[in-house]
């Protein structure tokens, strides 16, 4: 059964805030999880313990086997509205676009913008559903675009899955011309869970320390149980041979 993000946020609040850590990591709780998720709980524990040395094939296998519990999108309605309200410029890139839901939502709520999407795998159904979107298959750590190619770069519910966050954020910043928007879940880490997240951000500071240096023009706030962050790119500074400063 798939649920809206608002519903899963309620469940996450109960699991993360109301159940004491001692009970949350107990054998009884693990037994309850295993009753629903089966052997996948065992594999997720191994995955998290060995994340620093697993192969790309093993990484992909976990995600192929993971049941999808979200209904259409990992973003809440409030996050969707916040993203739409913070877009800058005409060229928009969604990194980790999945089935294209966010792009479709932004197409309906904004006008005159050109959208591109990136994910490791993009199925043909998604391409057929959004024929006017430029889709690319690539990893976030190696985006196939020139520097400053997009006015706004969006990345929602991706960084918690990426082992090298700083490298991923460096790529997002590299291809961004005006505004970078990031959404990650506000989430506590436990010994076992029903997701293969690599990183956890129980507080805003827990997220910000992963993306150092933090730009001066930023906003970071909680929207429900998600951390909503955006930064405006600093102008590119270069110098001629005689030391004259050139600003883009």
Q: Is the pLDDT of residue 101 over 90?
A: yes
Is residue 26 in some structural domain? yes
The pLDDT, as a whole number, for residue 1 is 47
Do the domain assignments include residue 246? no
Q: How many domains does the chain have?
A: 2
Same structural domain, 94 and 198: yes
Q: Is the residue at 56 inside a domain?
A: yes
Same domain, residue pair 105 and 192: yes
Phi and psi, residue 242, nearest 5°: -95, 10
Most confident of 9-13, 14-18, 49-53, 162-166: 162-166
Is residue 20 in a domain? Answer: yes
Both 129 and 20 in one domain: the answer is no
Integer Cα distance of 183 and 209 in angstroms: 15
Residue-number span of the structural domain to which 162 is assigned? 77-235
Q: What is the mean pLDDT of residues 145-157?
A: 97
Query: In terms of domains, do 48 and 95 share one?
Result: no
Spatial CB neighbours of 9, under 8 Å, sequence gap ≥ 6: 76, 224, 225, 226
Q: Quick one: 141 and 61 in the same domain?
A: no
Residue 72 belongs to a domain? no
> Beta strands 237-239 and 150-156: pairing type?
unpaired
Q: Are residues 184 and 84 in the same domain?
A: yes
Q: What is the CATH number of the domain that holds 109?
A: 3.40.50.150
Tell whether 209 is covered by a domain.
Answer: yes
Task: Read off the pLDDT of each residue in 67-78 and give the average, rounded to a whole number.
Answer: 73
Please indicate, yes or no, if residue 245 is contained in any of the structural domains: no
Tell whether 118 and 32 lie within a shared domain: no
* Residue 120 resides in a domain: yes
**What digits encode the pLDDT tens for the residues 177-228?**
999 999 999 998 887 776 778 899 999 999 999 999 887 789 999 999 999 9
């Amino acid at each position: 059964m798939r649920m809206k993000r608002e519903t899963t946020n309620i469940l996450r609040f109960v699991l993360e805030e109301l159940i004491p850590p001692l009970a949350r990591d107990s054998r009884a709780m693990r037994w309850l999880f295993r009753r629903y998720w089966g052997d996948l709980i065992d594999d997720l524990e191994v995955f998290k313990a060995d994340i620093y040395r697993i192969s790309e094939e093993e990484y992909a296998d976990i995600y192929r086997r993971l049941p999808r519990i979200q209904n259409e999108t990992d973003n809440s309605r409030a996050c969707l509205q916040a993203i739409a309200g913070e877009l800058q410029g005409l060229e928009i890139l969604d990194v980790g676009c999945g089935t294209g839901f966010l792009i479709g939502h932004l197409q309906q709520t904004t006008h005159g913008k050109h959208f591109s999407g990136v994910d490791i795998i993009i199925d043909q159904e998604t391409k057929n559903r959004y024929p006017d979107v430029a889709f690319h298959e690539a990893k976030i750590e190696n985006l196939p675009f020139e520097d400053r190619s997009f006015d706004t770069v969006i990345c929602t519910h991706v960084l918690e899955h990426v082992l090298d966050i700083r490298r991923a954020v460096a790529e997002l910043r590299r291809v961004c011309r005006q505004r970078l928007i990031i959404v990650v879940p506000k989430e506590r880490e436990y010994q076992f869970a029903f997701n293969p997240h690599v990183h956890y951000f129980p507080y805003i500071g827990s997220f910000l320390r992963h993306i150092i240096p933090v730009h001066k023009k930023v906003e970071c706030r909680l929207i429900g149980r998600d951390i909503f962050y955006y930064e405006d790119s600093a102008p590119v500074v270069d110098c001629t041979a005689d030391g004259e400063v050139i600003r883009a």
